[in-house]
Chain A
Amino acid sequence: MTQINVRVDGVTYSDDVEPRTLLVHYLREQLGKVGTVIGCDTSNCGACTVHLDGAAVKSCTVLAVQADGVEVTTIEGLAPQGSLHPVQKAFHEMHGLQCGYCTPGMIMASVDLLKENPDPSETEVREGIEGNLCRCTGYQNIVRAVQQAAGEMRGSGNGHVSPAEVDTAAAPHVAAQQ
Chain B
Amino acid sequence: MTAVEDRPAEAPEREVGKARRRKEDARLITGRTTWTDNMVLPGMLHLAVVRSPVAHGKISSIDVSAAQEAPGVIAVLTGRDVADEQGSIPCAWPVTPDMVNPGHPSIAVDEVNHVGEAVAVIVARSKTAAQDAVELVDVDYDLLPAVLDMEQAVAEGAQLTHDHLESNRSFHFVFDGGEAGTGVDTDQAFADAEVVVSRRFVQQRLIPAFMEPRSVVVQPQGDNYTMWSSTQVPHILRIMLAMVTGVPEHKLRVVAPDVGGGFGGKLQVTPEEVISLLVARRLGKPVKWTETRSESLMTAHHGRDQIQYIDIAADREGNVKGLRCRILADMGAYLRLVSPGVPVLGAFMFNGIYKFPAYRFECDGIFTNKTPTDAYRGAGRPEATFAVERIMDELAVELDMDPLELRRKNWIRAEEFPFTTVAGMTYDSGDYETATQQALELIGYDELREEQRRRRESNDPVQLGIGVSTFTEMCGLAPSRVLGSLSYGAGGWEHAAIRMLPTGKVEVVTGSTPHGQGHETAWSQLVADRLGVPFEDVEVLHGDTSSSPRGLDTYGSRSLVVGGVAVVNAAEKVVAKARRVAAHLLEASEDDLDFSGGTFSVRGTPGSEVSIQEIALATFAAHNFPEGMEPSIDADATFDPENFSFPHGTHLCAMEIDTETGMAKIRKYACVDDVGTIVNPLIVEGQIHGGLAQGIAQAMFEEAVYDADGNLTTGTFVDYLVPSAADLPHFDTGNTVHEAPGNPIGAKGVGEAGTIASTPAVVNAALDAVRHLGVRDIRMPLTPERVWRAIHQGGDGGDRATAGTNAWGGAQTETTAGVSTPQSALGGDQ
List residues of B (518-532) whose CB comes within 8 Å of A's CBs.
Answer: 518
Contact A136 B690 (CB under 8 A): yes
Q: Name the A residues within 8 Å of B637 (CB-CB).
A: none
Asked if A44 is at the interface of the complex by the 8 Å CB criterion, the answer is yes
Q: A95-B22, A174-B678 are in contact. List 8 more A-B contacts (CB 8 A).
A: A28-B38, A32-B40, A39-B211, A135-B694, A166-B19, A173-B681, A176-B737, A177-B677
Chain B 285-310 interface residues, beta-carbon cutoff 8 Å to A: 292-294
Q: How close is B577's CB to chain A, nearest CB, in angstroms?
A: 29
Q: Is the CB of B735 within 8 A of A45?
A: no
- Give, as a whole number of angstroms, the nearest-CB distance from A172 to chain B: 5
Binds B, one of A62-70, A123-131, A150-158: A123-131
**Which partner residue on chain B sits nearest A133 by CB separation?**
B722
Give the nearest-CB partner of B719 in chain A: A42
- Rounded to whole angstroms, the CA-CA distance of A35 and B685 in the bound complex is 27
**Which B residues are CB-close (under 8 A) to A167?**
19, 681
Q: Verify if A1 is at the interface (C-beta below 8 Å from B).
A: no
Question: Shortest distance in angstroms between A101's beta carbon and chain B's nearest beta carbon?
Answer: 3
* B293 with A101: CB separation less than 8 A: no
Is A169 a contact of B724 with CB atoms below 8 Å?
no
- A-chain residues with CB within 8 Å of residue B260 when the two chains form the complex: 37, 99-101
| Interface bracket on B | 35 or more
**Cross-chain contact of B21 among A33, A93, A131 (Cβ < 8 A):** A93
In the assembled complex, 30 residue pairs joining A and B whose CB atoms fall closer than 8 Å, in A order, are: A34-B31, A35-B31, A39-B211, A39-B212, A42-B717, A44-B717, A45-B211, A45-B717, A79-B30, A92-B22, A92-B26, A97-B29, A98-B518, A101-B210, A103-B28, A126-B728, A135-B210, A135-B690, A135-B693, A139-B724, A139-B728, A141-B686, A141-B689, A167-B19, A170-B682, A173-B685, A174-B19, A174-B678, A174-B681, A177-B677
**Which B residues touch A14, using CB under 8 A?**
none
Tell me if A44 and B209 are in contact (CB < 8 A): no
* Contact residues in B for A131 (Cβ distance below 8 Å): 724
With contacts A41-B292, A45-B293, A133-B717 taken as known, whether A103 is within 8 angstroms of B515 at the C-beta atoms is no
The 3 closest A-B pairs by CB, nearest first: A35-B31, A100-B28, A101-B260
Q: What chain A residues lie within 8 Å of B684 (beta carbons)?
A: 170, 173
Q: Nearest Cβ in chain A — how far from B694, in angstroms?
A: 8
| Contact status B682-A101, CB under 8 Å | no
Interface residues of B in 676-734 (CB under 8 A from A): 677-678, 681-686, 689-694, 716-718, 722, 724-726, 728, 730-731, 734
Q: Are B515 and A99 in contact, with the CB atoms below 8 A?
A: yes
Q: Which residues of B contact A44 (CB under 8 A)?
A: 716-718
On whether the beta carbons of A138 and B211 are closer than 8 Å, the reply is no
* Distance of A45 Cα from B726 Cα, bound (Å): 14
Set of chain B residues within 8 Å of A47, measured between Cβ atoms: 211
Q: Which residue of A lies closest to B292 (CB)?
A: A41
Q: A40-B717, A97-B29 are in contact. Are A176 and B728 (CB under 8 A)?
A: no
Is there contact, CB below 8 Å, between A102 and B25?
no
Measured CA separation A166–B259 after assembly (Å): 27
Q: Which of A135-152 contact B (CB under 8 A)?
A: 135-143
A residues in contact with B28, CB < 8 Å: 97, 100, 103
What chain A residues lie within 8 Å of B730 (beta carbons)?
122, 140
Asked if A34 and B35 sit within 8 Å, CB to CB, the answer is yes
Contacts of B438 in A (CB 8 A): 172
Contact A103 B22 (CB under 8 A): no
Chain A residues whose C-beta falls within 8 Å of the C-beta of B27 in the assembled complex: 100
> How near does chain A come to B234, taking the closest CB pair, in angstroms?
16
- Counting CB contacts under 8 A, is A74 at the interface? yes
Tell me which of A18, A38, A76 contacts B30 (CB under 8 A): A76
Whether A57 sits at the interface, judged by CB under 8 Å, is no
Residue of A nearest to B377 (CB): A135
Whether B693 lies near A139 (C-beta < 8 A) is: yes
Complex CA distance for A107 and B25, rounded to whole angstroms: 13
Give B684 Cβ to nearest chain A Cβ, in Å.
6
Min CB distance, B377 to chain A, in Å? 10
Q: Is the CB of B213 within 8 A of A38?
A: yes
| Option from A42, A102, A137, A177 in Cβ contact (under 8 Å) with B737 | A177
Contact of A102 among B24, B30, B211 (CB under 8 A): B211
Expressed in whole angstroms, the Cα–Cα distance for A131 and B726 within the complex equals: 9
In the complex, whether A91 has a CB less than 8 A from a CB of chain B is yes
B682–A176 CB distance below 8 A: no
B258 in contact (CB, < 8 A): yes
A84 partner residues in chain B, CB cutoff 8 A: 29-30
- How many Å lie between the Cα of A35 and that of B716 in the bound state? 23
Q: In the complex, what residue of chain B is closest to A9 when comparing beta carbons?
A: B31
**Chain A residue contacts of B294, Cβ below 8 A:** 41-42
Question: Does A114 have its Cβ within 8 Å of any Cβ on chain B?
Answer: no
Task: Determine whether B557 belongs to the interface, using a CB cutoff of 8 Å to chain A.
Answer: no
Q: Contact check, A99 vs B211: say whether CB atoms are below 8 A apart.
A: yes
Instruction: Give Cα distance in the complex from A130 to B25, angstroms.
Output: 23
Among A33, A79, A138, contact of B731 (Cβ-Cβ < 8 Å): A138
CB pair B516–A136 under 8 Å, yes or no, is: yes
| Interface residue A134 (Cβ < 8 Å from any Cβ of B) | yes
- Say yes or no: B685 contacts A98, CB within 8 Å: no
Residue of A nearest to B25 (CB): A92
- Report the minimal beta-carbon distance from B288 to chain A, rounded to whole angstroms: 11
B259 & A99 in contact (Cβ 8 Å cutoff): yes
B19 touches A100 (CB 8 A): no
Decide if B357 is an interface residue (CB 8 Å cutoff): no
Residue of A with least CB distance to B259: A99
Nearest CB of chain B from residue A77's CB, rounded to whole Å: 9
Please encode chain B, from 249 to 260, with 1 for each CB lying within 8 Å of some chain A CB and 0 for all others. 000000000111
Find the A residue at minimum CB distance from B675. A173
Report B-chain residues with C-beta under 8 Å of the C-beta of A97. 25, 28-29
